[in-house]
Copies of this chain bind each other. A is one copy, B any other.
């Protein structure tokens, strides 16, 4: 059991936080909007706390659960407060109609560029819709990052949530996961519906 910190108070923060407490973890919510964070903490319950936005998060794992547009700003604002942390980028840098990506590198690379040198950015959870994640059923979770240790720590946490971590490689694989987010959106829109998550089949 561990304490994880989540920056954000939207759809994904709710799904991840709820899933975490349901598996015995403690959650700290860090929202720019303290009222919203407080309300979400009450909803998640099970000892969920609200931290001060910008202070050093309690958790070793910090999930940056804000929309892509806010990722760089959030991580920049925290700055050195994120030293040594495992920063999880779950964002999808989609354009307005979700037909393409708006970054020439990846959201994860952009996060890494503004994060402290001692932080470890891992891309994860961007190929699962929040409402699907919220159901609590077992799912595959692709992860990509340069630190094997950070991926092992995050992987163990995901595994505890009944999410099977599947390592896609170094942070250079983050764009592949972001393209996979687009693929998921395309499948959902073209008949498969939004109850879908990408995964891997083993036979």
Contacts and interface: CB of A to CB of B under 8 A. Distances in A.
Interface of A: 99, 132, 135, 137, 139-140, 142, 144, 166-169, 172-173, 175-177, 179-180, 182-184, 186-187, 189-193, 195-203
A142 B190 CA distance: 11
8 contacts: A132-B203, A137-B203, A139-B201, A167-B190, A168-B186, A197-B200, A198-B200, A198-B201
A101 to B, nearest CB: 10
B167 A203 contact: no
Nearest to A137: B203
A168 B197 contact: no
A173 B186 contact: yes
A183 to B, nearest CB: 4
